[in-house]
Structure 1
Amino acid sequence: MTPEMSTTAAIMVMARNLPPKAFSFLSTSEWILHSEVERGQKAFGGRFLAITMIAAVIIISGVIIIDKVPPRHHHSHPPPDNYTLALHKALMFFNAQKLLPPRWDKKFSFVQVLLNRLRLFLSPGHPAEDILLILHRSSEIMMCSYLPVFTSFNRTKGGLIQLNHGRPQPLQYVVNAAFLATLYSDYLEAADTPGWYCGPNFYSIEVLREFAKTQINYILGENPRKMSYVVGFGNLYPKHVHHRGASIPNNRVIYNCKGGWKWRDSPKPNPNIVVGAMVAGPDKNDEFRDVRTNYNYTEPTLAGNAGLVAALVALSGDRTGIDKNTIFSAVPPMFPTAPPPPAPWKP
């Protein structure tokens, strides 16, 4: 960018900080200045920089003086174009969603972490870089909020992060956060980035993996009750899971929805073990009630198990499995390849 163009850009920035009454005047002035810069670059070269700066001072001063004079006529401002309005609404949604915990009906956390791949591995440049940088910064803030050194979320005495702020069924949020933290650390490692900043402090990617491990280990039995919240894992796990397939016996009798209630309300352990199902989890005091009728403790969900599987895969094996050179090109096609064409027809 030439000095003349830099000056014009600075003028435009200053103009946008002026009172609203000056907008209509400045829109014309900006156009005039931009045109004069183009002509001046050809006619005067570097000497035009001083002329442009003087013109800027005169115009800005004139606008300020105009703003001091009471207007005689009221000029309505034109409504924003559709793109500006859409961007404004999108940013409102973005700001409202960016620190919500990842869950089945709130996908923003997942999407912004996935979009970090584009910025870290492809460097798309302008204009995509602007919005990707915003999402990258938001991802960093989210990762900072998971660290115990900050107080964004409470933790139980046993160490379970309360992403849903002490409300029931906490584990589905925890496993998804553990997955995202591990995935984000893998992205940074693949991009040869050792960590990220939380304010002025730098944190290693190892901190994220440690967060994920402690949360998953809690779920698998390293908690005050020494209970695994994954059915069939360990020696102590829930026996009264809130699940029809687990609680209704396989006695070749077809039960309708209402007919299955007697099994739901039975105090006996489940006749069938739904191996691998993660229940809703303990409360904010690390307490757990193994009661089938209380789904806030004993209900497994697809959203919870999806996050559990993802987190376990991310934490298993040797470090990251991310290959930044093939992460986009190695995706298999969505449809099978077309069959070869038939042989040429012959009479």
Structure 2
Amino acid sequence: MFGRDPWGGALEINATDSATDDDRSRNLQDFDKAALSRNLDETQQSWLLGPTEQKKKKYVDLGCIIVSRKVFKWTVGSIIAAALIAGFVTLIVKTVPKHKHHNPPPDNYTLALRKALMFFNEQRSGKLPKHNNVSWRGNSGLQDGKSDDSTLFKNLVGGYYDAGDAIKFNFPQSFALTMLSWSVIEYPAKYEAAGELSHVKDIIKWGTDYLLKTFNSSADTIDRIVAQVGKGDTSGGPDPNDHYCWVRPEDIDYPRPVTECHSCSDLAAEMAAALASASIVFKDNKVYSQKLVHGARTLFKFAREQRGRYSSGNEAAIFYNSTSYWDEFVWGASWLYYATGNSSYLQLATTPGLAKHAGAFWGGPDYGVLSWDNKLTGAQVLLSRLRLFLSPGYPYEDILSTFHNQTSIVMCSFLPFFTSFNRTKGGLIQLNHGRPQPLQYVVNAAFLATLYSDYLAAADTPGWYCGPNFYSTDVLRGFAQTQIDYILGKNPRKMSYVVGFGNHYPKRVHHRGASVPKNKVKYNCKGGWKWRDSSKPNPNTLVGAMVAGPDKNDGFHDVRTNYNYTEPTLAGNAGLVASLVALSGDRSVGIDKNTIFSAIPPMFPTPPPPPAAWRP
């Protein structure tokens, strides 16, 4: 029998009267164990224990809010701890010495670049700007053009003196400006990194402003241009001139004749190249850029219509004799195409007959040597760029692929594995075959080699073939580095051929302005000869000037009267600047791939004509 257990469980009741006391006692014990082993719910516990007394919480009244005292203590403690930690960290930061992050020092190429650009400041003619930064130079040539009644061009103030004299030759000056512009177009980021971009653009503009004065730049058709200002008579005659006299340009008081030409295709096309390339440099200045483009068009039209060599029958042949004008046609047309996007210039530049006359197919001892006289190699590299990145296709592909292959062969000829050119024992390549003044050719080759290696890198091409052998772009760049390093002092004489770079460099440079002291004494034509013939170092340092260079035996004579060793030139220094900026700085900063193409419209290559109909 079961009954209700008041504690909530079942209770068994034995109804038999025969149960003994022991049995009841045993049952009671079992009951107690069962009852004690069960868990009690809250109601049952409350019956046994009564109501529980809860601990009273303490609060803090903050006025607008009431919070627990415990929470308040934790909050205040956390704020104090955070303040202590912050103060400790601040104390450490202020007391520990600061280590500023310094940019790595500039490499030798950058240091030499800054000096090489200063040479152009030292060669300026005209009224000098306040920021010229050459203490021993002053205004000069302010009467150029005015003193010659035979010329129509009365304002020929400005421009650059060519070398150690005070003659202004437009032919090499234009080439120098083209090379500088080319280097800026390709490497603006490197110029910017060196802090020289505005400087080099100022140098270019000083030259192009002058070139615009040497022809009727506002006209569409012209019949003459200025070729030269000053006279370089080498006969030793009694008449004062820029070669017979040895005076500072600031002290010139003798007449300076102006030489004009009416049939000078080479000069006009080179001037056109200078203005066209500069128009790309100054493309953000639309008014000035268009002025340069218009002048370039006018000059090139004159070059094509009035055929002839500028140096024929005049004294320019003694100093800068031009052997042909066909290479200038290819060179000038290439730059005009890049400056205007007009395909007629590209058609002309890629005409096989023009390339043939320029010497693209016959080779010769000077093939592949870029200079103020021969621009074919420069034009080939320039047009190879077009094929690598834009690939205009038909009808230009045949000659462009030929130029591209020829460029590769020229680059092979620079390498020491081949015997196209001899080298001195010290490693200087003899691009002019042992003749004097070799460095101007070496720097141009170094620029082209570095530039072409950067073209290949930008086109994701690791190298090129020389016959069956493949060479990486590092090999080509290595050639350029060894040649420039030679010029900067890694040569048997341990001499830097750039004035002011390093500790050992030429001190007796063939240069009138640098050799005659600025001492408020005006020397007459012959009075300056004592400074020319002096064995003392120049009183004025011609910073950045690259001299003519050593002979084929690595020999060099630091003698002022021997211009074959010690005279610098505009064309030589322009090539030096171009090669230095190409090699300078971080190698990962390559060429500006697109700026040169900014004027070229989108290309939709014309398909080649269909083959002729088949006939049996």
Percent identity (aligned): 77
Please report how far the alpha carbon of residue 182 of structure 1 lies from its aligned counterpart in structure 2 after TM superposition. 0.3
Which moved further from structure 2: 123-132 or 255-264?
255-264
Which residue number corresponds to residue 428 of structure 2?
Answer: 160
Which residue number corresponds to residue 226 of structure 1?
Answer: 494
1:188 aligns with 2:425: no
Please report how far the alpha carbon of residue 262 of structure 1 lies from its aligned counterpart in structure 2 after TM superposition. 2.3
Please report how far the alpha carbon of residue 265 of structure 1 lies from its aligned counterpart in structure 2 after TM superposition. 1.1
Which residue number corresponds to residue 31 of structure 1?
Answer: none
TM (normalized to structure 1)?
Answer: 0.68
Which residue number corresponds to residue 401 of structure 2?
Answer: 133
Please report how far the alpha carbon of residue 92 of structure 1 lies from its aligned counterpart in structure 2 after TM superposition. 3.8
CA change 1:257–1:311 in 2 (3 A) is: farther
Q: SS of the residue aligned with 2:527?
A: helix
Partner of residue 356 from structure 2, selected from 76, 88, 91: 91
Please report how far the alpha carbon of residue 325 of structure 1 lies from its aligned counterpart in structure 2 after TM superposition. 4.4
1:194-209 to 2 correspondences below 5 Å: 194-209=462-477
Q: SS of the residue aligned with 1:259?
A: coil
Q: Higher helix fraction: Structure 1 or Structure 2?
A: 1
* Separation in 2, partners of 1:134, 1:158: 34
1:26-105 to 2 correspondences below 5 Å: 87-88=352-353, 90-93=355-358, 94-96=360-362, 99-105=367-373
Tell me the alpha carbon deviations over residues 264-295 of structure 1, each in whole angstroms, 9 at most, x when there is no partner: 11111101000100001111111100000111
Which residue number corresponds to residue 514 of structure 2?
Answer: 246
Tell me the alpha carbon deviations over residues 109-133 of structure 1, each in whole angstroms, 9 at most, x when there is no partner: 1111111111000010111111111
* Separation in 2, partners of 1:89, 1:321: 32
Q: Is the 8 A contact 2:352 2:399 kept in 1?
A: no
Q: Is the 8 A contact 1:249 1:271 kept in 2?
A: yes
Tell me the alpha carbon deviations over residues 319-339 of structure 1, each in whole angstroms, 9 at most, x when there is no partner: 2422434542299xxxxxxxx
CA change 1:257–1:162 in 2 (3 A) is: farther
CA change 1:90–1:183 in 2 (3 A) is: closer
* Separation in 1, partners of 2:424, 2:397: 39
Q: SS of the residue aligned with 2:478?
A: helix
* Separation in 2, partners of 1:87, 1:132: 10
Tell me the alpha carbon deviations over residues 23-45 of structure 1, each in whole angstroms, 9 at most, x when there is no partner: xxxxxxxxxxxxxxxxxxxxxxx
Please report how far the alpha carbon of residue 218 of structure 1 lies from its aligned counterpart in structure 2 after TM superposition. 0.4
1:215 aligns with 2:483: yes
CA change 1:135–1:257 in 2 (3 A) is: farther
Partner of residue 544 from structure 2, selected from 276, 284, 288: 276
Which residue number corresponds to residue 266 of structure 1?
Answer: 534
Q: Is the 8 A contact 2:449 2:476 kept in 1?
A: yes
Which residue number corresponds to residue 591 of structure 2?
Answer: 322
Q: Is the 8 A contact 2:440 2:548 kept in 1?
A: yes
Q: SS of the residue aligned with 2:470?
A: strand
Q: Which runs of 5+ in 2 are unaligned?
A: 1-347, 601-616
Q: Is the 8 A contact 1:186 1:322 kept in 2?
A: yes
Please report how far the alpha carbon of residue 257 of structure 1 lies from its aligned counterpart in structure 2 after TM superposition. 4.4
* Separation in 1, partners of 2:593, 2:500: 37
Tell me the alpha carbon deviations over residues 179-215 of structure 1, each in whole angstroms, 9 at most, x when there is no partner: 0000000111101111111111111010111000000
Amino acid at match of 1:278: M
Q: Is the 8 A contact 1:190 1:323 kept in 2?
A: no
Which residue number corresponds to residue 390 of structure 2?
Answer: 122
* Separation in 1, partners of 2:523, 2:450: 43
* Separation in 1, partners of 2:466, 2:454: 18
Tell me the alpha carbon deviations over residues 288-328 of structure 1, each in whole angstroms, 9 at most, x when there is no partner: 00000111100111111101110010001222422434542
* Separation in 2, partners of 1:124, 1:212: 30
* Separation in 1, partners of 2:599, 2:427: 39
CA change 1:295–1:129 in 2 (3 A) is: same
* Separation in 1, partners of 2:580, 2:555: 24
Q: SS of the residue aligned with 2:437?
A: coil
Q: SS of the residue aligned with 1:196?
A: strand
Amino acid at match of 2:356: L
Tell me the alpha carbon deviations over residues 56-98 of structure 1, each in whole angstroms, 9 at most, x when there is no partner: xxxxxxxxxxxxxxxxxxxxxxxxxxx9xx8446414323468
Tell me the alpha carbon deviations over residues 151-185 of structure 1, each in whole angstroms, 9 at most, x when there is no partner: 00000110000000011111000011000000000
Please report how far the alpha carbon of residue 229 of structure 1 lies from its aligned counterpart in structure 2 after TM superposition. 0.4
* Separation in 2, partners of 1:258, 1:141: 51
* Separation in 1, partners of 2:352, 2:591: 33
Amino acid at match of 2:426: G
Larger Cα-atom Rg: 2
Which residue number corresponds to residue 341 of structure 1?
Answer: none
CA change 1:95–1:261 in 2 (3 A) is: farther
* Separation in 1, partners of 2:371, 2:427: 20
CA change 1:303–1:256 in 2 (3 A) is: farther
* Separation in 1, partners of 2:436, 2:406: 27
1:113 aligns with 2:381: yes
The alignment yields a C-alpha RMSD, in angstroms, of 2.0
Please report how far the alpha carbon of residue 263 of structure 1 lies from its aligned counterpart in structure 2 after TM superposition. 1.3
TM (normalized to structure 2)?
Answer: 0.39
Determine which structure has greater relative contact order: mean sequence separation of CA pairs < 8 Å that are 6+ residues apart, divided by chain length.
Answer: 2
Q: SS of the residue aligned with 2:410?
A: helix
Q: SS of the residue aligned with 1:246?
A: helix
* Separation in 1, partners of 2:599, 2:499: 35
